[in-house]
Amino acid sequence: MPKKCQSQKGKEVCLLHNNYLRVAMDKQVLLVEFFNAIETDPRVNSRHISLYTSLFLFWINKKEEKALELYSKEVMNTCKISASSTYHKTIRELHEFGYIIYDPSFNHNHGSRVHLLKLKNKKNQIF
């Protein structure tokens, strides 16, 4: 239950704090939904889990709520996938399985775009 604020400045602080808590909870729910979904998905293995968790970490650390723009090398270091071919196969599979939207960039100056999807009720919505 949000606490009541006394002054106008206090109201703004409370609204910002409440919005931050809502966003943090939404992000936690996204990760929980992923783990609930993969429990019954035999296609998902440890590479997929590691990569998705790394993508989630990059998204958590990002200030904006839009798509991630990432380079494979930075993600590969985090998820401990050393082969480029394995990384690209795994991220394409996460896209095919419906856990993310992956828009590869074939330009070395621009990162690929990744959207994490809400999975609850099987309505894959962009988060």
- The class that CATH gives domain 8-126 is mainly alpha
How far, in Å, are 19, 59, 62, 70, 71 from residue 109 at the CA level?
A: 34, 20, 20, 11, 9
Spatial neighbors of 94 by CB under 8 A, at least 6 apart, are: 48, 51, 52, 100, 102
Task: Kindly report whether the global pTM for this prediction surpasses the value 0.85.
Answer: no
Higher pLDDT, residue 119 or 117: 117
The answer to whether the CB of 48 falls within 8 A of the CB of 93 is yes
- Asked if residue 58 lies in contact with residue 97, where contact means CB atoms within 8 angstroms, the answer is no
How far apart are the two ends of the chain, measured CA to CA in Å? 25
Percentage of residues in the chain having pLDDT higher than 90 = 53
The separation between CA 6 and the C-alpha centre of its own chain, rounded to angstroms, equals 36
| d(C-alpha 14, C-alpha 74), whole Å | 36
Average pLDDT over residues 99-107: 92
